[in-house]
């Protein structure tokens, strides 16, 4: 399992299994139906499998890719029985998920690639962006790191107040200004303060408006420029937060943001309340951007470092269900 095997303990695995319960119950029941009474993987089985993937919001393009890969395996092996299908499907789904580049690989308890490590957090209002920042702050601090928040979403009413509440809850300092202030100036002050404090991680919140893509692009570009006056290689990560429960709408948001800025990592929230967890596969595959974190519950600890092997393993496992 490599690097991420060190990050996934029993507690994290249980949170993941529980958080994906709705998706996997729906997904696995459709796969079971697809192969019922069949001894080989034929066209009918593949059609049923395609429907199961699309229903789980894996998306058409990604589903077609997965089915094509399975068809190639069937053609190559000449004979493939349905008992092997789950294993092969797991392998092919895992294969299309983008791995986190080694230079950007880290966990809450591991050493970060740079100090301070600057993460610019983007995403539309309502996806759980501020909550995600608060949970990141809590988990990084719990992992022994000093964290600083920058409240650069200065246009939305209550955005600064919400982040301030999270800073208090997580017990980490925050750099902020009054509503309507220049977001870039807040980002500049946050990074300057983080350097002088010797912070390990700086998390900068940004405005989440999509109605004017050009303005959003200009704003994020300006924030990047001023940050680079302090740390030339920063931000080290531009993290897009998406709401997994919105399914294909999350895909549309990803299109807008990847067009507006250089998104380098994804956090997908609210997977515990939906049967549309397959959208994780769709987004990661279509944009070729690694998923770094997933939200699988309300608790602080329910923001997990994403491990593609463990994610796929949980997707195909029902034996951890509370109802079993």
Q: What is the pLDDT of residue 324?
A: 39
Which range has the worst mean pLDDT, 28-37, 47-56, 254-263, 287-296? 28-37
Mean pLDDT of 254-267: 88
Q: What is the distance between the alpha carbons of residues 162 and 148, in angstroms, rounded to a whole number?
A: 15
Instruction: Classify domain 2-96 at the CATH superfamily level.
Output: SRP54, nucleotide-binding domain (1.20.120.140)
* Cα–Cα distance for residue pair 230/223, rounded to 1 Å: 12
Q: Which of 44-48, 118-122, 314-318 has the highest mean pLDDT?
A: 118-122
Domain limits of the chain? 2-96, 102-307
Cα(314)–Cα(310) distance, integer angstroms: 6
pLDDT confidence bin for 212, thresholds 50/70/90: low
Max avg pLDDT among 49-58, 98-107, 186-195? 186-195
pLDDT of residue 227: 97
Q: Check if CATH label 3.30.465.10 holds for domain 102-307.
A: no
Beta bridge partners of 268: 242, 294
pLDDT at 4: 43
Phi, psi at 19, each rounded to 5°: -65, -30
Residue 241 bridge partners (DSSP): 267
Task: Name the burial class of residue 123, with classes exposed (0-12), middle (13-18) and buried (19+) by CB atoms within 10 angstroms of its CB.
Answer: buried
**DSSP state at residue 78:** S
CB 230 within 8 A of CB 188: yes
Mean pLDDT value across the chain: 85
């Amino acid at each position: 399992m490599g690097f991420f095997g060190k990050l996934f303990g029993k507690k994290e695995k249980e949170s993941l299994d529980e958080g994906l319960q709705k998706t996997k119950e729906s997904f696995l029941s459709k796969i079971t139906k697809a192969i019922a009474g069949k001894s080989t993987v034929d066209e009918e089985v593949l059609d049923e499998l395609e429907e199961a993937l699309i229903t789980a919001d894996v998306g058409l393009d990604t589903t077609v890719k997965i089915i094509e890969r399975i068809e190639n395996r069937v053609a190559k092996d000449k004979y493939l029985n349905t008992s092997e299908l789950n294993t092969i499907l797991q392998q092919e789904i895992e294969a299309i998920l983008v791995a986190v580049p080694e230079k950007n690989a880290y966990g809450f308890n591991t050493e970060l690639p740079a100090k301070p490590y600057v993460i610019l957090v983007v995403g539309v209002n309502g996806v759980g962006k501020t909550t995600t920042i608060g949970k990141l702050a809590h988990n990084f601090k719990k992992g022994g790191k000093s964290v600083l928040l920058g409240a650069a979403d200065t246009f939305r009413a209550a955005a600064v107040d919400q982040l301030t509440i999270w800073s208090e809850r997580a017990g980490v300092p925050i750099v902020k200004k009054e509503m309507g202030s220049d977001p870039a100036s807040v980002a500049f002050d946050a990074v300057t303060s983080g350097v002088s404090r010797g912070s390990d991680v700086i998390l900068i919140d940004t405005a989440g408006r999509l109605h004017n893509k050009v303005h959003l692009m200009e704003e994020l570009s300006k924030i990047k420029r001023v940050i680079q006056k302090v740390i030339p290689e920063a931000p080290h990560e531009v993290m897009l937060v998406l709401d997994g429960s919105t399914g294909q709408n999350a895909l549309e948001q990803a299109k807008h943001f990847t067009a507006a800025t250089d998104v380098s990592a994804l956090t997908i929230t609210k997977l515990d309340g939906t049967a549309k967890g397959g959208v994780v596969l769709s987004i990661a595959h279509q944009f070729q951007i690694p998923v770094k974190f997933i939200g699988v519950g309300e608790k602080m600890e329910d923001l997990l470092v994403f491990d593609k092997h463990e994610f796929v393993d949980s997707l195909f496992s029902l034996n951890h269900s509370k109802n079993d």
